[in-house]
Amino acid sequence: MVKAAYSRDTTPGTSPRTRILVAGGGYVGMYTAIRLQQKLKSELERGEVEIVVVSTEPYMTYQPFLPEAAAGSISPRHVVVPLRRVLHRCKIVSGEVRSVDHAKRTATFTTLATEEEGAGAIQIGYDELVLAPGSVSRTLPVPGLAEYAIGFKTVEEAIGLRNHVIEQMDIASSTREPALRDAALTFVVVGGGYAGVEALAELEDMARYATRYYHNIKPEDLKWVLVEASNRILPEVGEVMGKYAIRELRARNIDVRLDTRLDSCENRVAVLSDGSRLPTRTVVWTAGVKPAPVLAATDLPLNERGRLKCTAELTVEGVEHAWSAGDAAAVPDVTAEEPGTECAPNAQHAVRQTKVLAENIVASLRGRPLKPYAHKYVGSVASLGLHKGVAHVYGRKLKGYPAWLMHRAYHLSRMPTFNRKARILAEWTLSGLFKREIVSLGSLEHPRAEFELAAGGVPSRPLARRHEDPPVSARERKRGRPPGNRPGAPGVPSGEAPGEDRGRKGPDAPGPVTEEG
């Protein structure tokens, strides 16, 4: 059992081997562990060192490829890297670190089995700590946000959003209610950074392509709105390329609204700070990230933004045997002209920091001096959909096809493992030869629904789809109808429920059954 394996040796020095605990399996956690198992190969074979990786997911998600996965250009299986395959010399624990007591060199975590065991959280001792929990979506107290909005940070959210967009087109194609049709074909994306712009651009490309298979939906029927609180988008690529990106998006009939905030999205109406009210069934929230909450449950020093105070050597400031990098760490930028400047929390720095981080941990174990992390920011690339992009690299500005090609080449080179690189390259090649896939597999989010219905039960709505409809039971209670009499229930024709009026109005009015060509 996991508890028996990890509850022992909760204090350093009680075991002859040195235990390195890596908390997090994202960019920093995975890349650091890969390099540690390479550089400490002999120590690992002799049993002198043990590397334990605790990660909430058994894989690392390469987030720059999420927009292409959402658009169907890449299989979602190929944008994730299984930790157990690449970290074969490490011990992988599928769990979540809840707190860290560095003074005692212990961490508390839970696993998938702790709730079943009923034994509570597990403590693990360590000698060296790499705290790399990454970041989570930064949300604001916007009414209706938690109930209706969709994030775009995980592969599950990306694929769920793809299914949702196609499902909205299916709804618009089959409804007779103009208000429902307009709301279904209105997509609001909040946040003008990488995630928001690339997700919107790729999904708009996909949806526009899909309209050719709907006899009653035209590309101009789709309404895409990008909401950004500042006066520019994609600040990483520079002001000139940011303005070019706005022109490109607006040329595709995408409504880009700068200096605008989302004030509310209750009742499927996006209310913007400029006074606009947009009935919509899709609100995508990509307005920044914040450090993972576990950082606040440690005794390690944090800055005013909740990130770990770190040195240029990637040690946690003021303490020994604690290390960090990436989104969770405030690392001073030694190449910056202004003193006090920190490295931006992006993938470019995170991947490069892991190399120095692993080397410094090995140097510390072997009694050698540490070296500082120094990397001058070289620029950024961003995709604006198929064959379109912007780039600002080494002072040179690129746009259109060359920038898009550079975007793909750069991220393909950064994708871990030759296996994933080859699969992604093969998918890109095939997608150039064949048509896009426009299938919605939203039922995958709740695979037991069909069986529950056949068995006479009431299938529950999956949590990931709360933004679409309220639970069936709540809707039926509102109508005063018992759950067993809903359309599709045993003994009730699926096309029409007893007592329902085909001519009624409202978002739940059934539309004509159409056959798509």
The answer to whether residue 516 scores a pLDDT higher than 60 is no
Residues ≥6 apart with Cβ < 8 Å to 442: 160, 163, 164, 167, 465
Rounded-to-integer distance, Cα 214 and Cα 48, Å: 63
Residue 224 — pLDDT band, cuts 50, 70, 90?
A: very high
DSSP letter, residue 480: T
Question: Would you state the pLDDT for residue 379?
Answer: 79
Where residue 506 falls (left for φ over 0; alpha for ψ -120 to 50; beta otherwise) is: left
Question: Would you state the pLDDT for residue 499?
Answer: 36
Contact 125, 319 (CB under 8 A): no
Q: Which has more confidence, 149 or 472? A: 149
Compute the average pLDDT of residues 380-385: 90
Query: Each residue of 6-52: pLDDT tens digit?
Result: 443 444 445 578 999 999 999 899 999 999 999 999 999 999 999 99
- The 10 Å Cβ neighbour count of residue 151 is 17
The answer to whether residue 177 scores a pLDDT higher than 90 is yes
The answer to whether residue 509 scores a pLDDT higher than 60 is no
Where residue 274 falls (left for φ over 0; alpha for ψ -120 to 50; beta otherwise) is: alpha
Rounded-to-integer distance, Cα 130 and Cα 223, Å: 45
Q: Which has more confidence, 454 or 83? A: 83
Residue 508 — pLDDT band, cuts 50, 70, 90?
A: very low
The answer to whether residue 285 scores a pLDDT higher than 60 is yes
- Kindly report which listed range (128-137, 144-153, 452-461) carries the lowest average pLDDT score: 452-461
- Kindly report which listed range (178-182, 195-199, 294-298, 349-353) carries the lowest average pLDDT score: 349-353
Rounded-to-integer distance, Cα 196 and Cα 67, Å: 9
Residue 459 — pLDDT band, cuts 50, 70, 90?
A: low
Residue 486 — pLDDT band, cuts 50, 70, 90?
A: very low
Contact 97, 54 (CB under 8 A): yes
Question: Would you state the pLDDT for residue 116?
Answer: 78
Query: Each residue of 396-409: pLDDT tens digit?
Result: 899 999 999 999 99
In order of 9, 41, 49, 262, 264, the CA distances from 89 in angstroms are 20, 8, 11, 47, 49
Contact 370, 316 (CB under 8 A): no
- Of the candidates 137, 154, 136, the one whose C-alpha atom is nearest the C-alpha of residue 292 is 136
- Of the candidates 94, 11, 15, 82, the one whose C-alpha atom is nearest the C-alpha of residue 54 is 94
Rounded-to-integer distance, Cα 187 and Cα 168, Å: 10
The token pair at 511 is 């539309």
Question: Would you state the pLDDT for residue 47?
Answer: 93
Rounded-to-integer distance, Cα 262 and Cα 277, Å: 10
- pLDDT above 70 covers what percent of the chain? 85
The answer to whether residue 3 scores a pLDDT higher than 80 is no
- Kindly report which listed range (207-221, 290-304, 364-378, 486-500) carries the lowest average pLDDT score: 486-500
Rounded-to-integer distance, Cα 86 and Cα 25, Å: 11
- The 10 Å Cβ neighbour count of residue 479 is 13
Rounded-to-integer distance, Cα 333 and Cα 338, Å: 9
Question: Would you state the pLDDT for residue 197?
Answer: 95
The answer to whether residue 472 scores a pLDDT higher than 60 is no
| CB neighbour burial string for 69-80, b if at least 16 within 10 angstroms, e if fewer | bbbbbbebebbb
Counted residue by residue, the chain has a size of 517
The token pair at 187 is 């997509």
Compute the average pLDDT of residues 61-66: 92
Rounded-to-integer distance, Cα 363 and Cα 384, Å: 43
Compute the average pLDDT of residues 317-322: 95
Helix (H) or strand (E) holding 278: strand 277-279
Strand partners, 396: 393
Question: Would you state the pLDDT for residue 396?
Answer: 87
336-340, 369-373, 458-462 — most confident range = 369-373
Question: Would you state the pLDDT for residue 171?
Answer: 94
Q: Measured in whole angstroms, how far is the alpha carbon of residue 165 from the centre of its chain?
A: 17
In order of 322, 357, 364, the CA distances from 318 in angstroms are 10, 17, 16
Rg value, the chain, Cα: 25
The token pair at 429 is 């090649």
Question: Would you state the pLDDT for residue 442?
Answer: 67
- Of the candidates 285, 278, 265, the one whose C-alpha atom is nearest the C-alpha of residue 183 is 278
Question: Would you state the pLDDT for residue 443?
Answer: 67
Rounded mean pLDDT of the chain?
Answer: 85
- Of the candidates 103, 143, 30, 14, the one whose C-alpha atom is nearest the C-alpha of residue 420 is 30
Rounded-to-integer distance, Cα 341 and Cα 333, Å: 6
Place of tokens 């009730």: 492
Please give the backbone phi and psi of residue 128, each rounded to the nearest 5 degrees, phi first: -130, 135
Number of H helices, E strands in the chain: 16, 24
- Of the candidates 229, 502, 221, 311, the one whose C-alpha atom is nearest the C-alpha of residue 303 is 311
Contact 324, 330 (CB under 8 A): no
Q: Which amino acid is at 299?
A: D
Rounded-to-integer distance, Cα 489 and Cα 343, Å: 57
DSSP letter, residue 510: -
Residue 460 — pLDDT band, cuts 50, 70, 90?
A: low
Pairing between β-strand 389-393 and β-strand 396-399 as defined by DSSP bridges? antiparallel
Residue 474 — pLDDT band, cuts 50, 70, 90?
A: very low
Compute the average pLDDT of residues 83-105: 95
- Of the candidates 113, 195, 160, the one whose C-alpha atom is nearest the C-alpha of residue 445 is 160
Compute the average pLDDT of residues 283-306: 93
116-130, 217-231, 391-405 — most confident range = 217-231
Strand partners, 95: 111
